[in-house]
Copies of this chain bind each other. A is one copy, B any other.
């Protein structure tokens, strides 16, 4: 995990989030994200640990063309080096979402991920020449398909009720994350 190029979680390279821990707490309350959700997220992480390839393929079957278009190089086709570099960080994000404490480091890294989708910082980490921004609308449009992973969670030895709670915890965590990632996209003072 420490050896993923461009993965700077918890390091001094990551700037401080403009969002306070107090605002995060209020957001969590509004989303109904509680301590219990962290327990279920850990179960999600375990359930997904040997399924990340299948899950990524599933997501690509749902929104691959849109996703790939934002990895396009100057010739308009996906830049394989870019894709290959971002992929391990994407997989790591799944486990960070499931296993990290949502503290100042986590908050800072959510802002960093937002910047890396936004024109502020896209393409810089992997030093590529690609489209300048992942548009806001697609960042949000994939949240529904990315949240609908119940079949993957149900493959392990959990009761229906547990799978429901795992699914809910995952959905809430995704909503919370993308709200934080949206900060660079939103007009000053409106977030």
Contact = CB atoms under 8 A, between A and B. Distances in A.
Of A118, A137, A172, A187, chain B has the most CB atoms within 10 Å of the CB of A137
Given A185-B186, A186-B185, A187-B185, A27 B145 contact: no
A143 B23 contact: no
Contact of A23 (B31, B133, B137, B179): B137
Contacts of A187: 185-187
Contact of A66 (B26, B145, B190): B26
A142 interface: yes
Contacts of A27: 137, 141
Given A137-B23, A175-B140, A30 B185 contact: no
A138 B190 CA distance: 11
A9 interface: no
A174 B29 CA distance: 20
Nearest to A27: B141
A90 interface: no
Interface in A128-144: 133, 135-138, 140-144
23 contacts: A26-B66, A27-B141, A30-B63, A30-B66, A30-B141, A31-B141, A31-B145, A119-B190, A133-B189, A133-B190, A135-B190, A137-B182, A137-B191, A140-B179, A140-B182, A141-B179, A143-B175, A148-B168, A185-B186, A185-B187, A185-B191, A186-B187, A187-B187
